[in-house]
Chain A
Amino acid sequence: MRVVIAEDSVLLRAGLTQVLASRGIEVVAAVADPDALLHAVERLQPDLALVDVRMPPTFTDEGVRAAGLLKRRRPETAVLLLSQYVEERYAADLLVAYTGGLGYLLKDRVADVDEFVEAVRRVAAGGTALDPEVVAQLLARRRTSPMRRLTPRETEVLAAMAEGRSNSAIASALAIGAHSVEKHVNSIFAKLGLVPADTDHRRVLAVLHYLENGGRA
């Protein structure tokens, strides 16, 4: 797998490169600002861009904007955003527009190397990886609409889905059986009025529903 890193801190650029290299992921470029990132992606066509949210020139949401641009120009590139704080608004903005190949994690998560690398691989493969903190924020805003009818357990399952986990991963995370995860997922689909079709598609719709409600309640 080939990765481009955009991060303005020299220290973290080196650290991220080291972490990825230790797990056999090739870092083809490590740049310090959004323009260099877009340029590197055009030129090197990586599988994934690992992007810091706060970069020059304004140090606010450059990474989020760059991620949007990148997804529009080259949708097949997966983007994993990293930040010192996660903001549900950024997540909602991006995830409402692009569902696949997108992640948003706290920088802290890199410290758990194996889980982080797993998230990188998941996003590169077209999945999602949302930080539990983002999910908590999205949940905090979601107090209306069909979402309200979900049981606390179903809400947990949906939150795990939004983080990008598979049914078996959800089962082990919540310490419940795979069968009951399936039951919860189907109940979520029913309550949100998602008709039986392709399961993956319904999964994305459920997460979107959840994000739209969370982001714009």
Chain B
Amino acid sequence: MIEDEPARRRGLWTATVHVVTGLPVALLGVALLLPPLVVVPVSAGPLRGVLARRTAAQRQRFAALLNVAIPEVGGAAALRRQAAFHLLAVPFGAAAFAVVVGSASTGLGLLFAAGQRPVFAVSGVGLLVVAAVAVRWLVRLDALLARRLLGPNATEALNARLRELTRARTEAVAAADGERRRIERDLHDGTQQRLVSLAMTLGLLRTEVPDGPARDLVEQAHRQAKATLAELRDFVRGLHPAVLNDRGLDAALSGLVAGAPQPVQLRVDVARRCPPVIEAIAYFVVSEALTNVARHARAERVEVAVVRDADRLRLTVIDDGVGGAADRPGGGLRGLAQRVGSVDGALRIESPTGGPTLVEVELPCGS
């Protein structure tokens, strides 16, 4: 944690106000904390409520007067530390008050009474300087105490950071998923429709043009339009098939499996559906695994199984190909590992040279 110097960044006067108001604020805190301590057991709700409000008040005071930000924190250990701070604030506030107000008022008194006595004047100025220096050091000490006791300790700060990162990652994964759906929708509603329309027009034209070179060119254009359409369809379906939202993994995967060049035996046993993001990743895993098999494995047959076991979704893709599959940078299995990892899934690849290859993925499927 960065130790800034609050009293320098804020003026001496606000720092002095902070030190001087420390005692009344602390006394008020203890006064409010006492009733629930005495009347009801320590762990009860009212005490927690008062503690939380006192901590919030102190946090605001430090932010307003010293520009010191104290992160919020929950949990039993943090509450005990905060209670300790509120109790400690009384003697600390009293001592600080005594030192600063005592030295400053004595110093001022000496200055007023100085007259022709330079010793008094010098002592008065000296005491005022002492008061100012004391304010600086007391404010630093107070800020240090507040950060340690009111704020999170190292473990709590790390845990909070972890929660924050987990949330950010979940959002990023959902955003990427949403983006793929949006692209699929856009291509479906725009480019694909236009291409179909173009192919239709060429199809009509083909039957109108008499035999000859022009007819050959139209035929060629017609074939090209249809080939482009087929290629685009494969790509778009790979992004995010609409049937996945609508009917789930079983329906989406059977369409996928049908497009594989080698026979695929598919078994899907998912009684309750998983969250959409998990379904999308499961679909992607099978899609990538089948692409890999088609490209590299020279397999005769493939078995795909998707089984939900409580709150885990288990996917296995087994092929009887040549084996030797590995997670290489830029390879298909790397992309697969990344997407599985993005939701805390686990990936296992067993692929001895000579085969068979087993790709096993486990995804969290709590809903």
Contact = CB atoms under 8 A, between A and B. Distances in A.
Interface stretch (B27-35, B87-95, B222-230, B359-367): B222-230
A179 interface: no
B197 A15 contact: yes
B237 A111 contact: no
Nearest to B188: A84
* Chain B: number of interface residues, binned into ranges: 35 or more
B145 interface: no
Interface stretch (A66-74, A85-93, A163-171): A85-93
Nearest to B254: A141
A61 interface: yes
B246 A111 contact: no
A22 B230 CA distance: 25
A114 interface: yes
Contact of A19 (B185, B203, B236, B237): B203
Contacts of B260: 140
Interface string A100-142: 0000001110111110000000000000000001001111110
B287 to A, nearest CB: 14
A140 B254 contact: yes
B197 A11 contact: yes
A79 to B, nearest CB: 19
A9 interface: yes
A136 B258 CA distance: 6
Chain A: interface size category: 35 or more
A1 interface: no
A22 B201 CA distance: 11
Contact of A111 (B192, B203, B263, B265): B203
B226 A111 contact: yes
B191 to A, nearest CB: 10
A88 B200 contact: no
A199 interface: no
Contacts of A18: 200, 204
Contacts of A19: 200, 203-204
A190 interface: no
A5 to B, nearest CB: 13
Given A111-B222, A137-B258, A140-B258, A15 B201 contact: yes
Given A9-B193, A108-B196, A113 B204 contact: yes
A85 B196 CA distance: 12
A36 B260 CA distance: 38
Given A22-B204, A111-B203, A143 B242 contact: no
A212 to B, nearest CB: 14
Given A60-B245, A84-B233, A89 B254 contact: yes
Given A19-B203, A141-B257, A141-B258, A59 B266 contact: no
Nearest to A84: B192
B264 interface: yes
A19 B203 CA distance: 9
B227 to A, nearest CB: 10
Contacts of B188: 54, 84
Interface string B175-192: 000000000010011001
A88 B310 CA distance: 28
A84 to B, nearest CB: 5
Given A87-B243, A114-B207, A137 B200 contact: no
Nearest to A144: B265
A111 B199 contact: yes
A112 B255 CA distance: 24
B223 to A, nearest CB: 10
Interface string B239-258: 00111011100111011011
A113 B255 CA distance: 26
Given A9-B193, A12-B196, A114-B207, A88 B185 contact: no
Nearest to A62: B246
A115 to B, nearest CB: 9
A85 B201 CA distance: 20
A137 B255 contact: yes
A108 B230 contact: yes
B194 interface: yes
A111 B242 contact: no
Contact of B255 (A16, A88, A107, A143): A88
Nearest to A112: B203
A84 B263 CA distance: 24
Contacts of A16: 200
Residue in A12, A139, A140 whose Cβ sees the most chain B Cβ within 10 Å: A140
A141 B230 contact: no
B202 interface: yes
A88 B197 contact: no
Given A85-B237, A140-B257, A107 B196 contact: yes
B207 A85 contact: no
Interface string B262-283: 0111100000000000000000
